[in-house]
Amino acid sequence: MSRPVIGLSTYVEPARWGAWEVPAALLHEWYVDAVREAGGRAVLLPPDSTDADVLDRLDGLILIGGADVDPAHYGAEPHATVDVPRVERDAGELLLCRAAHERDLPLLGICRGMQVMAIAHGGSLIQDLPDAGFGLAHRERPGTFTEHAVSLAEGSRVAAIYRSTRIVTNSSHHQGIADPGTLVPTGWAEDGLIEVLEAPEARFSLGVQWHPEHPDRRFGELPLFRAVVAAASD
């Protein structure tokens, strides 16, 4: 039996290897490793806002972390801390997210990916958590992780995956969900920030604000990747 094919969105950023220093479509190999360990076959999806036909060849989709989504996509002016927009990536991922929902294609959003899900479903973001008065340190500085507890809703898909209503997660983000749109929050940090979103009517559509792909957390987080791969196998 062939492995389910899971598409992974990518960054497009300056990169250097060998004799080359050029813009590259890339992502942490952590994501690929997690999909492989969960029994899936990872395929990288560079930004492309032309159409979402690639989804017809995939069994599931993961929207990965990365730079802030342009606030113009939810009708807001940018806060001073917002990253320079990744125009093509924003457009491509929003297109894929909406098309995955229409197809009922299994979807997992990670950090930025969950935020893309909220925006695609009519929601909006908190552009800077410290400025908005959230008490926890969700990120001390870019490229680092903090840890904090997350409470999961009884009866939610995410609680079933982790077999618990309270877990400890790793965190590295300065934005968060202000309005989930038509998605349902099913996880919260101790300061009230939404940490999980679900579309209960979907075959599998779930976003998490933390970084389950990190190799240091692989044992505890592998059930999440196994869940999306299992949904993609149906």
Catalytic residue among 93, 195, 198, 213: 213
Query: Rounded to an integer, what distance in angstroms lies between the CA atom of residue 112 and that of residue 31?
Result: 14
Q: Does 111 participate in catalysis according to the annotation? A: yes
Catalytic residue among 111, 173, 198, 221: 111
Q: Does 214 participate in catalysis according to the annotation? A: no
Other CB atoms within 10 A of residue 224 CB: 21
Q: Does 154 participate in catalysis according to the annotation? A: no
Catalytic residue among 101, 173, 211, 221: 211
Alpha helices in 106-156 (DSSP H): 112-120, 129-132
Closest CA to 97 of 32, 59, 57, 52: 52
Residues marked as catalytic: 111, 211, 213
